[in-house]
Amino acid sequence: MNSLIKEMQALAQELLASGEVKGVFGWTKGSRWYLTPPLFIQKAEDAIKLHYDEFAINNLTSLLLDYRNSDDKIAIFVKGCDSRGILRLIQDKQVNPEKVLVIGLPCPGMVDKEAVKDQRHVHDLPLLRKCQECRYPNPVLADRTLGDVQVTKEPGVPIGITAERAIQKGVGSKGKERYQEVKEIEALSADEKYAFWQKQHEKCLRCYACRNICPACNCRECIFESDKKGWVNKAATTTDNAFFGITRAMHVAGRCVDCGECERVCPAGIPIMKINRKIMQDIDELFGTYDAGTDLEEAGPLNHFKLDDPEEFL
Amino acid sequence: MKRIGVFVCHCGTNIANTVHCDQVAEVAKDFPGVVYSCDYKYMCAEPGQQLIQDAVREHNLDGYVVAACSPRMHEPTFRKCAERAGLNPYMIEQVNIREQCSWVHADKEKGTEKSIDLLRMAVAKARKNEPLSSSTIPVTKRALVIGAGIAGIQTAIDIADNGFQVTLLDREHSIGGRMAQVDKTFPTLDCSACILTPKMVEAAQHPNIEMVTYAEVTAVDGFVGNFDVTIRKKARYVDFDKCTGCGACQEKCPKKVSSEFEMGLGPRKAIYVPFPQAVPNKPVIDAEHCRYLLDGKCGVCKKICPTEAVDYEQKDEVIVERYGSIVVATGFDQFDISKYEEYGAGRYPDVITGLHLERLMNASGPTAGKIKRPSDGKVPEKIVFIKCVGSRDEAKGRPYCSKACCMYVAKHATLIKEKMPQSKSYIFYMDVRTGGKSYEEFYKRTQEQYDGQYIRGRVSKIFQVGDKLIVRGEDSLIGRPVEIEADLVVLAAGMEPRADAVALARTLGISYDQHGWYTEAHPKLQPIETHTAGIYLAGVCQGPKDIPESVAQASAAAVKATGLLSKGELTSEAMIAECNEAVCAGCGLCISVCPYKAIEKKKVSERVHGQMKERVVAVVNPGLCQGCGACTVNCPSSAMNINGFTNEQILAEVDALCQR
Amino acid sequence: MSTVEDKKQTAQDWEPNIVGFACNWCTYAGADLAGLSRMQYPPNVKLIRVPCSGRTNPQFVLRAFQKGADAVLVAGCHPGDCHYSTGNYFTRRRYLLMQRLLEYMGIDPRRFQARWISGSEAPKFRDVVTQMSEEVKALGPNKKLREEL
């Protein structure tokens, strides 16, 4: 890991010094051993601040939105799952591929910092939930790669994780059952389902953290930001929260890149991925298997149709 | 705050019988925004309209709602009435309390209640109405016809005769298309060339027709009235200005190639004119076979040419031309019979298609009109025809009827008997379909006077024994197997879309069905138009047809194209999509669902932190947008809206309906 | 003071309020034809005319439930018959997902329905509206997703 960090720093230093890029998105060592927050640097001498480890959890891609119409070229470090966010932004024309330099990193599988109590070592911590179900450990797109990482559009087993650790953490096996939790909710009665979600919607603060971190939520102006449009009231009533939750899910239907950041950042602990996964499952069943953010050329499932799509409306 | 008027119509007793119209008008007075409300016997009649106009002026109304019959019936009436009252016609709403209320609910109290709900909805919408207007776009008075078979030629001649410039484009060197390959035409048996070549010459010489052959459409931009079409003119390696068409090069060229025009039954040269009556009648060099172009050896044609017209250096030329309308007349391919392995098609040289037989019968064909078997040149005596090969066959992916085969098989059997009285034709069929003027009579003659023996049933197998083809099948009328020792088997191969039909459809932005036939805008009432305004269809590219039908559709397409060109400008719809550029992020999700290619991207500049920045936004072409609204739903930020059916209006309607 | 008897009475008198989105070219025309043919059906479904079923934003459906609709119907031309050629194919995809999502959220699928009704299918319009009215009446008033009054 240390040599990889050195490589990252050297590359960032070179890119900034040569003027090839005007800024670099990466991570830095935080104030505690289990924190590795995002970092944006614009000076070559700051490259030394870059850091990477099992706590570099944040998907940085939505940060590129601040530079969407910029003439400056920006470099960004991505893990496998993050790279799908880059594809999302390119497909949505929010990032000009000429103006971004994507650097792919091998991912060791991120660990759950929320689980930190009295542990002192990263290996004592469980893998982050989203990493237990990881299907894209390798970047699907990268201009450069560092360390032992391949660029591939195919889902696979995380290569950054040792076999031992993979078995220990159950990586891969869970990935196959990624709709398990969806099925559990589907098995409930209508009223139980409603009660479950009502409880979630009651918790929602409408802080929009889920939206802000999401690479698929890349509108210039969100419909929930402007009450002039009349879609929803500003106040966080439960019914408006439900409207927000369902509408957000429909807006990212077929576009969600499954990075799980929305759920991770939700301060109210709403299991947002249970909604996103539900839609993914239905898309797979109804229109054929589709992983958003893995193929630049492929149109999303709500942007095309087949004449012989399932007919259930009679 | 808008001042809204409400006018409740009795429609005689049609509404008043089951709705208390006076009550409805009374309740409406309390709706927000309503400053005047009344009921009247006939709102659509002259006194009713006068009443509305007077009320608009007297009460200074900004808009009004008429509660009456269906807006599909009288919306134009009440819009015009608004205009006469000095209002923008889009400031009004009509709400349906007849077809969808008084006529379907006998209970007068319930009918009244529903009328009030519906009226509340309409008033809520009307309060959000904004004045709308149509815009106009100029039209380029020039047409493009893609494909120069009989349909394309007829379209071009008709458009040209109507006084408009037209470009007739074909990817082959000569115009004429499939009909040029045909020997004689049913049901009159006049020679195909005799009726086609005069039209080819007429097209070539018409002052309003520009003929562009050996060229393909590679891109289409723009929209109705102004299509910018990119055309790639393939290199011919012969300078047509110098060439006199003397034919010396063709004679001396040492390279023999199997002729596509002759269906592989005869040879041509590497420098060639595809057939003697070709228009233009000047040769081109086939770069794939020319010895000089392949390895720099030979050069005979250049040496022999008396006018130095051969130019090996010629390159493809790409041009962009603007047209007001486009007619697509790209025709068909013949079904690939090798998919019928049981018939030995492709393996046995004497199992041929109808089009092969046309060439074998044609006086200027490879056998000079003498029917000889491809394998050994023997004159066949027993000839078997099999119909519906690649038609009406689900298993082969061709469930449709190719329509012309029944008649051309009858024609073949007749002509063969005429040429070779000692011969005998057997025709295996599923049904005989002879809809068309004088068609049934022709088929009867084939049976009665020309000894064509029709056998109802499918052939299961064909195999070779000696120099005979054994055709085994079943006569389903008598329920007994039949076996015929044939000398020649002719498969009535069906029609299928051109192999690249879908690619061209995508270039043009027109739709196509599951087989690849181009889709008309309406199967009954708009059989010529496509869904893309300004693009029309002629001939078989839309679906199987015979020659008279193709010609009829060609003339119809010419009328449609000319009708468009004869307008100086086009008026766009008023209720169409509009993009709020301040909100639009330029993601293009709207573009992917627009059926009319009506949304484009454009760059806008704006000042951000004191710097001018460019960004991309969507912009709606008012000439193309039909106002369906698919874009509005795919736009997550609601930057797209439909004028007249805005999000705000529909939300107001929803709220009003739910507020009881 | 209301008695148990009174409540029963109220429940029986209760009529569902159903918001219908109908495309102008097929379903709205089919509903007009039902009128021209003097077919009779319950007055519970009220149609909002939209150009195409593809114009119906799922957010309109949510709004209707929020504001108190007991059920929502989205209806348009049959696939292949769309006046705008492809609009209803997108409707089909979007509402297949929406229907499943609403069910997942605990909304009874009978409260949200999508139907293809052509301009000539007046009997079908009548039947769909009748059936939906009866089903929703049996279900009772919708309280889910509804804003607090």
Nearest to B99 among C32, C51, C60 (CB): C32
For residue A161, name the pLDDT band (cuts at 50, 70, 90): low
The whole-number average pLDDT for the span B130-159 is 95
Chain B CB within 8 Å of residue C24 CB = yes
Could you give the CA distance from residue B48 to residue A130 in angstroms, rounded to a whole number?
68
| pLDDT tens sequence across B407-446 | 999 999 999 999 999 999 999 999 999 999 999 999 999 9
C-alpha closest to that of B149 among B207, B194, B213, B210: B213
pLDDT at A18: 96
Chain A CB within 8 Å of residue B502 CB = no
The whole-number average pLDDT for the span A113-118 is 82
For residue A1, name the pLDDT band (cuts at 50, 70, 90): confident
Query: Based on the domain organization, do A87 and A213 belong to the same domain?
Result: no
| pLDDT tens sequence across B618-648 | 999 888 898 999 999 999 999 999 999 999 9
Nearest to B584 among A70, A220, A231 (CB): A220
Residues 160-189 of B with CB under 8 A from C: none
Cβ–Cβ < 8 Å for B336, B472:
no
Query: Based on the domain organization, do A104 and A240 belong to the same domain?
Result: no
DSSP state of B235: P
Instruction: Delineate the domains of chain B, giving CATH numbers in brackets.
Output: 4-126 (3.40.50), 142-331+497-566 (3.50.50.60), 337-496 (3.50.50.60), 577-643 (3.30.70.3270)
| pLDDT tens sequence across B441-477 | 999 999 999 999 999 999 999 999 999 999 999 999 9
> A35-44, A107-116, A236-245: which range is least confident on average?
A107-116
The whole-number average pLDDT for the span B7-31 is 97
Cβ–Cβ < 8 Å for B357, B493:
no
Within 8 A of A218 by CB-CB distance, chain B residues are 585, 587
pLDDT at A157: 61
Query: Based on the domain organization, do A75 and A202 belong to the same domain?
Result: no
Query: Based on the domain organization, do A128 and A184 belong to the same domain?
Result: no
Asked if pLDDT for residue B391 goes beyond 60, the answer is yes
pLDDT at A160: 47
User: Using CB atoms, which chains have 3+ pairs under 8 A with B?
Assistant: A, C
More confident residue, B391 or A158: B391
pLDDT at A228: 66
- Count of structural domains, chain A: 2
Could you give the CA distance from residue C140 to residue A109 in angstroms, rounded to a whole number?
50
Provide ipTM, 2 decimals.
Answer: 0.94
pLDDT at B224: 87
Residue A10 within any structural domain of the chain: yes
Within 8 A of B609 by CB-CB distance, chain A residues are none
Asked if pLDDT for residue B182 goes beyond 80, the answer is yes
Where in the sequence is the domain holding A275, given as residue range(s)?
A: 180-287
Judged by CB atoms closer than 8 Å, whether chains meet at C35 and B634 is answered as no
Judged by CB atoms closer than 8 Å, whether chains meet at A239 and C105 is answered as no
CA distance A8 to chain B (A): 31
CA distance C35 to chain A (A): 22
Chain A CB within 8 Å of residue B634 CB = yes
The whole-number average pLDDT for the span B244-254 is 94
Asked if pLDDT for residue A202 goes beyond 80, the answer is yes
Within 8 A of A93 by CB-CB distance, chain B residues are 585-588, 616
Residue A156 within any structural domain of the chain: no
pTM score > 0.80 for this model? no
pLDDT at A227: 65
Cβ–Cβ < 8 Å for B65, B79:
no
Residue A170 within any structural domain of the chain: no
User: Minimal Cα distance from A95: which residue of B?
Assistant: B587
Instruction: Delineate the domains of chain C, giving CATH numbers in brackets.
Output: 16-139 (3.40.50)
pLDDT at A166: 52
Residues 6+ away with beta carbon under 8 Å from B308: B242, B302
Q: What is chain A's mean pLDDT, rounded?
A: 89
CA distance C1 to chain A (A): 30
User: Minimal Cα distance from C54: which residue of A?
Assistant: A302
Query: Based on the domain organization, do A116 and A237 belong to the same domain?
Result: no
Residue A282 within any structural domain of the chain: yes
Looking at chain B, the whole-number percentage of residues with pLDDT higher than 90 is 90
For residue C82, name the pLDDT band (cuts at 50, 70, 90): confident
Residue A292 within any structural domain of the chain: no
CA distance C113 to chain B (A): 16
pLDDT at B229: 97
Judged by CB atoms closer than 8 Å, whether chains meet at C54 and B660 is answered as no
Judged by CB atoms closer than 8 Å, whether chains meet at C104 and A186 is answered as yes
- Substitution target in B128, B589, B651 with the highest count of A β-carbons within 10 Å is B589
C-alpha closest to that of A61 among A218, A269, A277: A218
| pLDDT tens sequence across A175-185 | 456 788 899 99
Please, where are the H alpha helices in C14-86?
Answer: 27-36, 58-67
Judged by CB atoms closer than 8 Å, whether chains meet at C104 and A305 is answered as no
Structure tokens at B472: 């085994």
B606 three-class SS = strand
| pLDDT tens sequence across A283-300 | 999 999 999 999 988 889
pLDDT at C4: 43
Nearest to B651 among C50, C63, C69 (CB): C63
CA distance B562 to chain C (A): 24
Judged by CB atoms closer than 8 Å, whether chains meet at C116 and A313 is answered as yes
Residues 6+ away with beta carbon under 8 Å from B639: A220, A221, B579, B580, B581, B583, B584, B585, B618
CA distance B19 to chain A (A): 33
Chain C CB within 8 Å of residue B497 CB = no
> A300-309, B141-150, B455-464, B516-525: which range is least confident on average?
B516-525
